[in-house]
Structure 1
Amino acid sequence: MTRNQPFPFSAIVGQDAMKTAMILTAIDPGIGGVLVFGDRGTGKSTAVRALAALLPPITVVHGSPTNAATPEDQPDWAETVPDVLVERPTPVVDLPLGATEDRVVGALDIERALTRGEKAFEPGLLARANRGYLYIDEVNLLEDHIVDLLLDVAQSGENVIEREGLSIRHDARFVLVGSGNPEEGELRPQLLDRFGLSVEVRSPNDVEERIEVIRRRAAFDADKSAFMDHWTAEDAKIREAILAARGRLAGVAAPDPTLRDCAELCIALGSDGLRGELTLLRTARALAAYLGDPAVTRAHLRRVAPMALSHRLRRDPLDEAGSSTRVSRTVEDVFA
């Protein structure tokens, strides 16, 4: 076991909505990532790293700077690497708030330009995050020009750089996970809409639950090997369930009554555009696949509607209820 072994995903106490949202995006990355807003110290970053650690490793071309799955996926600008495939842990890349544009998208390799007189590309964080997770803590404090870059890449799944005589492009498909405290600032609507799911986390109010959090963390710090041995089997169960769900996903049916439910629910909520319906259905299909159900039902829609739609609501100054509560209330009204 490595010294930097993350806390086991299955050992995280409570925070069921957050864990479910992350599992569903692992089953279907096309859902569009997860936004986690809430108090500090509630396990947001812990859950991201723990989920990536329990996922099976990805197969990549040896030495590929973009985690290319096959030699054909290797970008033309990359250094020649042996035609050898190796396994690599699912990448989790942190995007710091103060990161420059060059660090995020990549830039001219100054050292090679000065020493050899060659124009070469130095990959950025988006290249490293391909086929993995890009994690942004305090995402609501991210600078506007970096937000614009992320919007472009999230839309296309490709990073394109045109500068300093270089014309570079490479795949940049990742699950975007953002976390933050809403008291420190709001997220730009354009970026907010790009997150497939949104969950709110709170510090537990139950004394026994808080005691269990302390107990598990103390055990992890005291003897990581023994703690990991105890929870490895539970993480393995989640890994196997995710892999099985990926295999079942394409076969999960979405009958016409379910499509009508999605549309009527989004109309009742007043969500703009059609991304709400599409994300709601996609998330419900991932949940059905995870549970081993053959088709999407209202039970699946009820469970995922708050996380798929709460961040797409228009503000209602006359309604003091939280967005998740408004979604749940509307679900019951529509499905009554």
Structure 2
Amino acid sequence: MTDIQNQTRPVFPFTAIIGQEEMKLALILNVIDPKIGGVMIMGDRGTGKSTTIRAIADLLPEIEVVADDLFNSHVADYDLMSDFTKDKVTQGIEVTTKQVKVPMVDLPLGATEDRLCGTIDIEKALNEGIKTFEPGLLAKANRGILYVDEVNLLDDHLVDILLDASASGWNTVEREGISIRHPSRFVLVGSGNPEEGELRPQLLDRFGMHAEIRTVKDPCLRVQIVEQRSDFDKNPQACINKFHEQQVKLKNDIILAQNKLPNIMIDYSLRVKISEICSILNVDGLRGDIVTNRAAKAFAAYQGHDEVRLGDVKTVITLCLRHRLRKDPLDTMDSGSKVDKVVNEVVGDL
């Protein structure tokens, strides 16, 4: 019943969302290249975090999945196939497919490990020798978006499982010596309010990007946002129709960028500059370097460039590094400004 409701419930158009450009850009780049590693969105209550995340999922083109498969398996890509579909393909059995909307899965705060990972029916396995797997949220989110609201309030154990599945692209469930593994490639999106507690630094580092959003202060813009929302609540379909052309254009831009991405080049000198910035900022490990390179390529593809330009790097680097800096309680400068300052010092003369 829930799935039917989700399909028919009107979703606020992504292109109608005013302001919060940083959050919107981070989501678009993760959709273009899911290997960026997801995005953590931290900000004030009531700033449209959930609305924006649901809107990006609704905007995406439909995907082709294997019809009788529990994991949204891809018909041709082995990395996105369940073992069940792989066996069929290997044996030369014809596989039927269907088009579905990109899955958008919400992880509730009270979720258990079984709800997240899925469960194996041990009794059936022992008595009848049949592996019966009840898919969890990680299976349903494969090739889609997994959204965790108030991720800073989620049990650390579940956050660990989430991040491991997100990084490896696979989920393994083991019960009483029985093991089932399935693909779990998704864009992980977390949101939260910093007043309710911070994520552990080692967990925060696992998110590819970190967007900070603040309540809009400009009175005129606030009025515009309120009017936009009121119009949607009054007549959702009229609002959706009004932004139809912009939605189609953005959808096409995303598809073009996804197709262009594999051929985007980034010059060696730019890669050195990225690593120099990470080094000056004392970013632990190399994840910051890797994510910045990926994000810059995705942004270049989105802009229609053939190779990464300096401006592309400057646009994305704060999103990729601000959550990776070591916290200094005595530092008066916030991490985003610190990244900007170092970037301008290193590449400002280019």
Q: What is the TM-score of this pair, normalised by structure 1?
A: 0.94
**Does structure 1 residue 7 correspond to structure 2 residue 12?**
yes
**Aligned position for 1:41:** 46
Displacement after TM superposition at 1:119 (Å): 4.7
Quick one: which of 216, 221, 238 aligns to 2:250? 238
Residue 242 (structure 1) shift: 0.6
1:18 aligns with 2:30: no
Deviation at 1:4, TM superposition (A): 0.9
Kept in 2, the 8 Å contact 1:62–1:82? The answer is: no
Are the aligned partners of 1:77 and 1:121 in contact in 2 as well (CA < 8 Å)? no
Equivalent residues, number = 336
Aligned to 1:300: 312
Please tell me whether the aligned partners of residues 108 and 164 of structure 1 are also in contact (alpha carbons under 8 angstroms): no
Q: Aligned-pair distance for 1:75?
A: 2.9
Work out which of the residue numbers 275, 278, 284 in structure 2 matches 1:263: 275
Structure 1 CA distance, aligned partners of 2:172 and 2:85?
Answer: 12
Deviation sequence 1:263-288 (CA, Å, 0-9, x none): 11111111011111111111011111
Q: Distance in 2 between matches of 1:119 and 1:253?
A: 45
**Compared with structure 1, are the counterparts of its residues 305 and 113 closer, same or farther at alpha carbon in structure 2 (3 Å cutoff)?**
same
In the alignment, what sits opposite 1:197? Answer: 209
Amino acid at match of 2:22: A
CA deviations on 1:232-285 (whole Å, 9 max, x unpaired) are: 111111111011111111222211110111011111111011111111111011
Question: Are 1:188 and 2:196 matched, yes or no?
Answer: no
Does the CA-based 8 Å contact 2:122-2:175 persist in structure 1? Answer: no
CA distance in 1, matches of 2:232, 2:115: 34
Secondary structure of 1:161 counterpart:
strand
| 170-179 or 140-149, which deviates more | 140-149
Is contact 1:77-1:168 (8 Å) kept?
Answer: no
The 3 A distance-change label for structure 1 pair 114 and 232 is: farther
Per the alignment, residue 155 of structure 2 pairs with: 143
- The unaligned stretches of length 5 or more in structure 1 are none
- The offset of 1:2, in angstroms, is 5.8
5+ residue gaps in structure 2? Answer: 1-5
Distance 1:124 1:48 in 2: 21
The code of the aligned residue for 2:57 comes to A
Percent identity (aligned): 48
Contact 2:170/2:184 (8 A) holds in 1: yes
* Aligned match of 1:132: 144
Q: Measure how far apart 1:325 and its partner are.
A: 1.2
The answer on whether the counterparts of 2:171 and 2:183 sit within 8 Å (CA) in structure 1 is yes
Shift of 1:313: 0.5
Q: Supply the AA of the counterpart residue of 1:242.
A: I
Q: Which residue of 1 aligns with 2:135?
A: 123
CA contact (8 A) 2:14 2:56 kept: yes
CA distance in 2, matches of 1:64, 1:118: 17
Partner of 1:285: 297
Further displaced range: 28-37 or 297-306: 297-306
C-alpha displacement of 1:324: 1.0
Inter-partner Cα distance in structure 1 for 2:321 and 2:214: 19
Contact 1:24-1:287 at 8 Å conserved across structures: yes
Matched residues in 1 for 2:125 and 2:233: separation? Answer: 46
Q: 1:274 to 1:4 in 2, by over 3 A?
A: same
Deviation, 1:152, is: 2.3
Deviation track 1:62-96 (CA, whole Å, cap 9, x = no partner) reads 13211011287233399x99832101100011111
Deviates more, 1:19-28 or 1:62-71: 62-71
1:149 CA drift (Å): 1.3
Q: Deviations over 1:109-161 (max 9, x none)?
A: 48967998955111100000000011000101111211221232123211011
In 2 relative to 1, CA 204–115 (structure 1 residues): closer, same or farther, beyond 3 Å? farther
- 1:174 corresponding residue in structure 2: 186
1:310 equivalent in alignment to 2:322: yes
Q: Which portions of structure 1, spanning 4 or more consecutive aligned residues, are displaced by more than 4 angstroms?
A: 110-119
Q: Secondary structure at the match of 1:87?
A: strand
TM-score (ref. length: structure 2): 0.90
CA contact (8 A) 1:288 1:300 kept: yes
Does the CA contact (< 8 Å) of 2:73 and 2:85 recur in 1? no
Alignment partner of 1:250: what SS?
Answer: helix
Q: Does residue 76 in structure 1 map to residue 84 in structure 2?
A: yes
User: Against the structure 1 CA distance between its residues 162 and 227, is the aligned structure 2 distance closer, same or farther, given a 3 Å change threshold?
Assistant: same
Contact preservation (8 Å) 1:138, 1:178: yes
Letter in 1 for 2:139: A
2:3 alignment partner in structure 1: none
